Amino acid sequence: MTVRVTHDVRDAVAALRGGGLVALPTETVYGLAGDARSPSAIAGIFAAKGRPSTHPVIVHLPDAGVIDRWATAVPHWASSLADALWPGPLTLIVNRADDVLDAVTGGQPTVGLRVPAHPLTLEVLRQFGDGLAAPSANRYGHVSPTTVEHVMAELGEVLDAGRDVVLDGGRCPVGVESTIIGAWDDTPRLLRAGAVTALQVAEVTGREVSIADGGVRTPGTTAAHYAPTARVLAVEADAVPDALNEVVGPFGLIALSNVLVPAIDHVRLAAPANAAEYAFALYAALHAADDAGLDVVVAVLPPDAGVGHAVRDRLHRAAISGARP
Ligand code: TXA
Ligand code: MG
């Protein structure tokens, strides 16, 4: 049976209290949420996603005030960051409190925390009153969902129709996953690019942001992620004519609206006007490419500024993992 879609926060809270899972909207992508204190709910999330159980999940909080229930020895600069940018597309990896489940942290000494900026999900979190573990609501290794339709295509038949629900909050306005900042010592570390930029983090904290991850384990930020079935060619704007010479047959194209494209037959998947629109459109365009059965997507990289940095990051990953046999 197909899982039920609801617009009612009370349905979502009831499902969570009953030990069930809720696919819910955030400003970045849809998440698959369960009680972060419940081993069986966490196990259910991993089973639904088909995700290795050693991967840590982000705990979503109703506000920054409850951070000490989950974390210990939070650096002062990280608290300032939380105060300045939560609710928002920022995850902080901090030293875990003793009672945080190993299933949540992947056995690591740290836990990922964030307060998402979506009115429906904030209301769910307030009514639920505690942390919700939520990875993106896609099957393991697939493109993250930014609409209820994507969630249903990924998990509609996988979730338990008698127990779980999908909360419809419309389309996710940011469109790419949160920025992840390592925040366990004196140095902010950028572990995953997102709409919050390293520059913003540096401005708020007054600290230099380390871009190299220094061998920190953040599964899900490595290759073989963010890829559609179609092969993705990520190309710079000035290399478009050369790249198109290599493509045989119909292809999908994602590019900023001001990029000049040779008159070759193609399917225009998105023509965003700026980097923010590019992030918003990106995953829906990749889903659309697969729905249309396209073999190749040419994605023209946006300039490396603002959320454009995160878009470039995701496209490079999609291109690497798409280069499979
Ligand atoms: O925007 C987002 O962050 C979305 C929405 C639903 O909040 N969530 C999301 O979750 O993207 P997920 O599980 O798909 O990606 C979370 C990333 C993974 O790469 C995971 O390895 C990393 O966060 N992560 C979580 N906790 C961690 C920890 N304690 N140490 C290192 N990395 C961690
Ligand atoms: Mg994910």
Provide the sign of the torsion angle of the four alpha carbons 315, 316, 317, 322, taken in this order.
positive
Segment 188-202 mean pLDDT: 97
Nearest-atom number in ligand 1 for the CA of 57 is: 25
Q: Is 56 in the pocket of ligand 1 (CB under 6 A)?
A: yes
Question: Which domains does the chain show, CATH number per domain?
Answer: 4-205 (3.90.870.10), 231-321 (3.40.50.11030)
Which pLDDT value is given to residue 224?
A: 52
Which pLDDT value is given to residue 325?
A: 38
Which pLDDT value is given to residue 65?
A: 95
pLDDT digits (tens, 9 = 90+) for 241-284: 888 888 888 899 999 999 988 888 899 999 999 999 999 999 99
How far CA 235 is from CA of 246, 254, 301, in Å, comes to 12, 10, 6
Alpha-helix residue ranges (DSSP H) falling in 37-101:
39-49, 76-85
Nearest-atom number in ligand 1 for the CA of 110 is: 29
Across the chain, mean pLDDT equals 93
Alpha-helix residue ranges (DSSP H) falling in the chain:
9-17, 39-49, 76-85, 102-105, 119-128, 148-155, 198-205, 240-246, 275-291, 308-322
Residues with CB under 5 A from ligand 2 (ion): 136
Distance 213 CA to ligand 1 centre (A): 15
Helices 148-155 and 275-291 pack at an angle, to 10 degrees, of 40
- Name every residue whose Cβ is closer than 8 Å to that of residue 92 and which is 6 or more positions away in sequence: 74, 78, 81, 82, 112, 113, 114, 181, 183
pLDDT at position 323 over 80: no
Segment 5-15 mean pLDDT: 98
Which pLDDT value is given to residue 24?
A: 98
Distance 57 CA to ligand 2 centre (A): 9
Best of 24, 132, 185, 218 for a ligand 1 pocket test (most atoms within 8 Å of beta carbon): 218
Distance 251 CA to ligand 1 centre (A): 32
Which pLDDT value is given to residue 213?
A: 54
Q: Is 102 in the pocket of ligand 1 (CB under 6 A)?
A: no
pLDDT digits (tens, 9 = 90+) for 200-227: 999 999 999 999 754 555 555 555 566 7
pLDDT at position 19 over 60: yes
Single-letter amino acid code for the residue at 61: L
Q: Is 139 in the pocket of ligand 1 (CB under 6 A)?
A: no
pLDDT digits (tens, 9 = 90+) for 305-320: 999 999 999 999 898 7
Please state whether the predicted TM-score (pTM) of the whole model is above 0.75: yes
How far CA 69 is from CA of 34, 64, 134, 144, 288, in Å, comes to 17, 10, 17, 29, 41
Contact (Cβ atoms closer than 8 angstroms) between residue 113 and residue 94 = yes
